[in-house]
């Protein structure tokens, strides 16, 4: 069996790692296509190195652009890549423009599509990620849901017959990295005492592309009465510079994005996470670190239902949520126990359709 993975952004590289390792163990031919959506080395190359992912077989080098141009350039290049490799499955990950382009190219050329992390919904059509995930699910031949909630949503949309709950592959790599951090006593910020600081990331357009909103969020972070380590995404730095918003003020400490092991070590040492990242919400929950999500909704509803995640959209709400009382412990493991990659491999093998590529 030949599987072609289409990835291009930091969360997708994390999800790719356990899949690549599982396929290698099972002698599955695996073609990795990197679209170049994330091209900063700290958001791309370092993940391949730290998570021991094989180098990409194809690198499209698309880079940054608006949604239409970026997706269109990926589509134009992916067509030739798919025809060249003729995979049995095209495996797409998450909800980025790379996800959408991979799915549309495969659908047009009649190659079977599997969507990893299928069935997630924010029910906010203003989010480009919501459009990407809905379209990808509905052109896929196999929807690989990460949770029971996602599987129920797919069934409600008429996709139950092509859907299976495999668990969340991010948990596979997270648990491995967590154990390594605990064994090696990794501490990226030795001058900060564990439990005395927050870690924050911001990158979504809804937060960074509105000057007033971004300024309010930065004001809130700067006013928290303990250090806040802001791991500044390139998009955040660019927008802040354009708007004349100073990031390094108050209790804010601006740092560059971290490698995945260093990120997990920092989260584990923190008092809490303040983010708009879907992946980091979930990672915080699995690590049992309180999270404040700077959005009005989340796809990872289980994190909110258990009390470990709180949604906040105003400066006052962000501060209140971040400094809330520690949530009660929970035994729930809605994202699986670390064997999702094996279940993905089994699902692809069991439901392998005839290659339909033109």
Write out pLDDT tens, residues 111-129: 999 999 999 999 999 888 9
Using a 10 angstrom Cβ sphere, with 0-12 exposed, 13-18 middle and 19 or more buried, the burial of residue 330 is: middle
For residue 58, give both structure tokens: 């194809």
Cβ contact 51:259 at 8 Å: no
Q: CA 168 → CA 31, 148, 182, distances in Å?
A: 21, 11, 22
Q: For residue 354, what pLDDT is reported?
A: 58
In 3D, which of 278, 317, 37 has the Cα closest to residue 168?
Answer: 278
For residue 122, give both structure tokens: 């924010």
Distance between CA atoms of 209 and 186, rounded to whole angstroms? Answer: 35
Q: For residue 220, what pLDDT is reported?
A: 97
For residue 239, give both structure tokens: 């927008």
CATH class of 176-322: alpha beta
In 3D, which of 251, 293, 292, 285 has the Cα closest to residue 268?
Answer: 285
Tell me whether the CATH fold assigned to 2-168+337-350 matches the one assigned to 176-322.
yes
Cross-strand bridge partners of residue 252: 228
Q: For residue 93, what pLDDT is reported?
A: 97
- What distance lies between CA 190 and its chain's CA centroid? 27
Cross-strand bridge partners of residue 90: 4, 113
The residues of the chain scoring below 50 in pLDDT are: none
Cβ contact 154:163 at 8 Å: yes
Cβ contact 126:206 at 8 Å: yes
Distance between CA atoms of 94 and 282, rounded to whole angstroms? Answer: 14
In 3D, which of 358, 355, 356, 343 has the Cα closest to residue 1?
Answer: 355
Show which residues are catalytic.
Answer: 203
pTM (two decimals)? 0.87
Q: For residue 50, what pLDDT is reported?
A: 85
Distance between CA atoms of 64 and 42, rounded to whole angstroms? Answer: 15
Q: For residue 46, what pLDDT is reported?
A: 78
Delimit the domains of the chain by residue range. Answer: 2-168+337-350, 176-322
Superfamily of segment(s) 2-168+337-350: Glycogen Phosphorylase B; (3.40.50.2000)
Distance between CA atoms of 202 and 206, rounded to whole angstroms? Answer: 10
CA 171, 177, 183, 189 dihedral sign is: negative
Distance between CA atoms of 78 and 71, rounded to whole angstroms? Answer: 10
Per-residue three-class SS string for the chain: CEEEEEECCHHHHHHHHHHHHHHHHCCCEEEEEECCCCCCHHHCHHHHHHCCCCCCCEECCCCCCCHHHHHHHHHHHHHHHHHHHCCCEEEEECCCHHHHHHHHHHHHHCCCEEEECCCCCCCCCCCHHHHHHHHHHHHCCEEEECCHHHHHHHHHCCCHHHEEECCCHHHHHHHHHHHHHHHHCCCCCCCCCCCCCEEEECCCHHHHCCHHHHHHHHHHHHHCCCCEEEECCHHHHHHHHHHCCCCCCCCEEEECCCCHHHHHHHHHHCCEEEECCHHHHHHHHHHCCCEEECCCCCCCHHHHHCCCEEECCCHHHHHHHHCCCCCCCCCCCCCCCCCHHHHHHHHHHHCCCCCCCC
């Amino acid at each position: 069996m030949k599987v072609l993975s289409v990835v291009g952004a930091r969360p997708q590289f994390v999800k790719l790692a356990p899949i690549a390792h599982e396929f290698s163990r099972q002698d599955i031919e695996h073609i990795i296509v990197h679209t170049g959506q994330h091209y900063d080395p700290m958001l791309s190359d370092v993940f391949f190195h730290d998570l021991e992912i094989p180098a990409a077989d194809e690198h499209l080098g698309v880079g940054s652009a608006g949604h239409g141009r970026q997706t269109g350039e990926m589509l134009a290049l992916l067509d030739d890549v798919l025809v060249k490799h003729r995979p049995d499955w095209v495996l797409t990950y998450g909800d980025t423009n790379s996800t959408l382009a991979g799915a549309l190219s495969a659908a047009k050329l009649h190659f079977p599509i599997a969507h990893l992390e299928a069935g997630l919904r924010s029910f906010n059509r203003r989010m480009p990620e919501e459009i990407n995930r809905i379209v990808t699910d509905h052109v896929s031949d196999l929807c690989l849901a990460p949770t029971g909630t996602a599987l129920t949503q797919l069934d409600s949309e008429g996709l139950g017959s092509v859907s299976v709950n495999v668990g969340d592959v991010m948990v596979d790599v997270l648990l491995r990295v967590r154990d390594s951090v605990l064994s090696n006593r990794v501490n990226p910020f030795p001058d900060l005492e564990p439990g005395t600081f927050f870690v924050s990331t911001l990158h979504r357009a809804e937060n960074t592309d509105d000057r007033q909103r971004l300024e309010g969020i930065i004001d809130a972070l700067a006013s928290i009465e303990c250090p806040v380590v802001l791991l500044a995404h390139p998009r955040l730095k660019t927008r802040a510079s354009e708007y004349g918003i100073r990031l390094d003020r108050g209790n804010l400490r601006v740092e560059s994005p971290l490698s995945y092991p260093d990120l997990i070590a920092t989260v584990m040492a923190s008092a809490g996470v303040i983010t708009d990242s879907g992946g980091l919400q979930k990672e915080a929950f699995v690590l049992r670190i309180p999270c404040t999500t700077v959005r009005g909704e989340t796809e990872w509803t289980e994190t909110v239902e258990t009390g470990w995640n709180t949604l906040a959209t105003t400066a006052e709400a962000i501060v209140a949520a971040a400094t809330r009382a520690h949530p009660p412990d929970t035994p729930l493991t809605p994202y699986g126990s670390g064997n999702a990659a094996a279940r993905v491999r089994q699902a692809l093998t069991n439901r392998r359709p005839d290659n339909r590529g033109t």
